[in-house]
Structure 1
Amino acid sequence: MSKKRRTFTTDFKKQVVALYENGKGRQDIVSEYELTASALDRWITQFQQSGSFKEKDNRSPEEQELMELRKRNKQLEMEVDILKQAALIMGRK
Structure 2
Amino acid sequence: MNQQKRSRRTFSADFKSQMVKLYLQGKSRSDLVKEYDLTPSALDRWIYQSSQSGSFKSKDNRTPEQNELIALRKELKQLRMENDILKQAALIMARKSKS
TM-score, L = length of structure 1: 0.95
Asked if 1:6 corresponds to 2:9, the answer is: yes
Task: Output the CA distance in 1 between the equivalents of 2:5 and 2:51.
Answer: 31
Residue of structure 2 aligned with 1:17, choices 15, 20, 23: 20
Matching residue of 1:67: 70
Task: Output the CA distance in 1 between the equivalents of 2:65 and 2:9.
Answer: 30
| Aligned-residue RMSD, C-alpha | 0.9
- For these two proteins, the number of residue pairs brought into alignment is 93
Matching residue of 1:91: 94
TM-score, L = length of structure 2: 0.89
**Gap runs ≥5 in structure 1:** none
User: Which 4+ residue blocks in structure 1 deviate beyond 6 angstroms?
Assistant: none
**Gap runs ≥5 in structure 2:** none
Question: CA offset at residue 20 of structure 1?
Answer: 0.7
Residue of structure 2 aligned with 1:55, choices 55, 58, 81: 58
SS in 1 for 2:6: coil
Matching residue of 1:40: 43
SS in 2 for 1:16: helix
Asked if 1:80 corresponds to 2:83, the answer is: yes
Greater Cα shift, 70-79 or 20-29: 20-29
Structure with max Cα Rg: 2
Task: Output the CA distance in 1 between the equivalents of 2:93 and 2:77.
Answer: 24
Question: CA offset at residue 2 of structure 1?
Answer: 2.4
SS in 2 for 1:34: coil
